Structure 1
Amino acid sequence: MKTLSLLLFLALPLLLVACAAPEVGSSNEAADEKESDRDIYTKGRAFPDMSARRPELRPEAVPARVRYVLVDDATVNAVADQLDAAIQARDTAIFGDTLFVLPGAWDVLKVNGARKVPDVTPISAFDLNSPDAARRGAFASKTEAIAALAEAFFNAATSEGGYTIRALRSGEMAEWWPFIPFDIEEPLYVVETEGGRYRLIVSCNREGEIGTLDELKALPVTY
């Protein structure tokens, strides 16, 4: 199966934006408004009051070079509850129609039951600090493949019994940033297993569907 090139992997955010672009002949104001909805934070810009969020869902300060996109507190709380309920019930319906499994998560899911998943497309992701070191991930759009990956995710999340759903810490943002070609955008969580074996990154849309998975401890330290 053909591996997606680095160029395609890096272009994915642009493709997603293009899919959401207004129709020909419509006003550009809609596109401008859409971009203005993305509340982007970088180093030195303090987060607003987050007292409406549960404490564990409040991210730490954004480090250098990282771009972090906030969404409203109610969405962050609600999607975290949906994620928790889905893990408890092993409900694969929380996954969307497509799923990107980035290299850290791919390594972890393979040892948690996803070694032989049908109909996945390999993707190559590159550490921007070490461009010669390609790492393999996977993309799935078939129902059976997503269901198999979801089961492996549930296995990993519950592998030590309990787990915590929380926001990213500053060091984790810096750790993950070199491996991704997109902004860190909420709703996004770390599912940390009780004994610390895994720190799974779970990226959702605002309706709560999971679209991207990664795992921090399986990635090389680059910061």
Structure 2
Amino acid sequence: MKIKILLIFLFFVNAVKAQITEKITIPNGIVYHYADDKINEKVKKLLTESLTNTNSYDVLGNNLIIGPTLWKRFKNIENLKSIPDSLIFYIDDVEIEGKMAKKPDDSKKIWNEFKKEVSGNYQIRKANEDELKYYWSTISFDIEEPLFILQTENQRYILNFLKKNQTLFWLDEFPYKNSYNNPIDNGTYTTEGTIKTYKNGNEVYVTDKGNRETKLEKVIFLTGDSELKANSSIEDIKSVIDKTNKIFEKLFKNSKREGKIMVQFELGKKKNDIQFAVKDDLDLEIMKEFEKQVNEEKYPNSKKDTIKFQLLYKVNSYNETE
């Protein structure tokens, strides 16, 4: 009797294990529902076949939504301009256009253009934290698998399928930016992850023109997350930003001229280096005083390796847009 119970228990454990799907790291605040491996593998196979077979459209359903980042490029393709039914996405309080294809022929047109871009080598995998954060910012529903990232040499596409019939209903592109042309040292910075931009303490993916005003516009980190955590702290970085903001607001709040100021901080273990860049019609006398006071301020050092980030200020100006 004990042997039978043990065998039944082992069978149950093995059955449960067979249904356990690959787990990923889910960022806080995101609701994510897994599908079992059988469904995910079935969809991956269907996706691969649809990409390699010219006349296969089994992956498509009744409707296909094109997310804002991909549509920003695809809307300029002549063959897709006639597709009706635009969608408006609200990302970082900015309105951005997307598209919904409600006719099979329109979905096929989009899919054909998509296949042209992934004709070379590609990888199909689950989403990482950054990709999930972006996708979550574009949608108003829980994330549910099958959800895959199709990664090529230059792009990362987001593909979300309906669980009930395994057809594609959402296609977008992660705004992957792993290089940054630094106007201060004219260098190009690259990272294995993505260059991140923050506004009002939050990571942002898009920015609009905004208002004409005088304030800190954004913070750009040129050091990766892991290096930042190992060599500094949120409190130290906030201290740098707060001290610099105080000097900026005191000097430029009543300035009538317009322009942009970029302040680059390199916090080292023993020495900090600060560089400045300006453009447009700034009051250079005020700028000299700003540089003087910033250089006289005491900022925290890094724990070991140098970290680098930039503060971009606008003076009677609009936001930089990409």
Partner of 2:276: none
Residues 59-100 of structure 1, C-alpha deviations (whole Å, 9 max, x = no match): 521111111011111101111111111111142231111111
Mark the CA change 1:50 to 1:176 in structure 2 (over 3 Å): closer, same or farther: farther
Q: Which residue of 1 aligns with 2:168?
A: 210
Residue 176 (1) aligns with residue 135 (2): yes
2:84 paired residue among 109, 120, 126: 120
> Secondary structure at the residue paired with 2:58?
helix
Name the TM-score, length of structure 1 as normaliser: 0.65
Give the Å deviation of 1:52. Answer: 6.3
Q: Structure 1 pair 50/191, CA: closer, same or farther in 2 (3 Å)?
A: farther
For 2:64, give the aligned amino acid. Answer: L
CA 1:157–1:163 in structure 2 vs 1: closer, same or farther (change >3 Å)? same
**Aligned equivalents of 1:88 and 1:143: distance in 2?**
19
Letter in 2 for 1:209: T
Match of 1:109?
Answer: 74
Is 1:163–2:122 an aligned residue pair?
yes
Number of residue pairs matched? 164
- Please give the per-residue CA displacement for 1:6-35, whole angstroms capped at 9, x wherever unaligned: xxxxxxxxxxxxxxxxxxxxxxxxxxxxxx
Higher Cα Rg, which structure: 2
Shift of 1:49: 6.0
Query: For 2:100, what is the secondary structure of its paired residue?
Result: strand
Are 1:108 and 1:215, in contact at CA under 8 Å, matched by a contact in 2? Answer: no
Which of 1 and 2 has higher RCO (CA within 8 Å, sep 6+)? 1
Which ranges in structure 1 are unaligned for 5 or more consecutive residues?
1-47
Q: Which of these residues, 123, 130, 134, is aligned with residue 95 of structure 2?
A: 134
Q: Does 1:81 align with 2:33?
A: no
- Tell me the CA shift for residue 116 of structure 1: 3.1
Amino acid in the other structure paired with 1:140: A
Amino acid at match of 1:180: I
TM-score normalised to structure 2 length: 0.46
d(CA) in 2 for partners of 1:126, 1:155:
29
Question: Structure 2: 5+ residue runs without aligned partners?
Answer: 1-15, 178-195, 198-202, 205-322
Whether the 8 Å CA contact 1:105–1:218 is kept in 2: the answer is: no
Aligned residue for 2:171, secondary structure, equals strand
Tell me the CA shift for residue 143 of structure 1: 2.1
Percent identity of equivalent pairs? 21
Q: Which has the higher strand share?
A: 2
Residue type at the aligned position of 2:112: E
State the superposition RMSD in angstroms: 2.5
Q: Counterpart in 1 of 2:110?
A: 149
Aligned residue for 2:269?
none
Aligned partner of residue 171 in structure 1, secondary structure: helix
CA contact (8 A) 1:114 1:149 kept: no
More displaced 10-residue stretch of structure 1: 212-221 or 178-187? 212-221
* 2-structure distance, mates of 1:200, 1:49: 30
**1:187 counterpart residue number:** 146
Q: Cα 1:50–1:62, aligned 2, differ >3 Å: closer, same or farther? A: farther
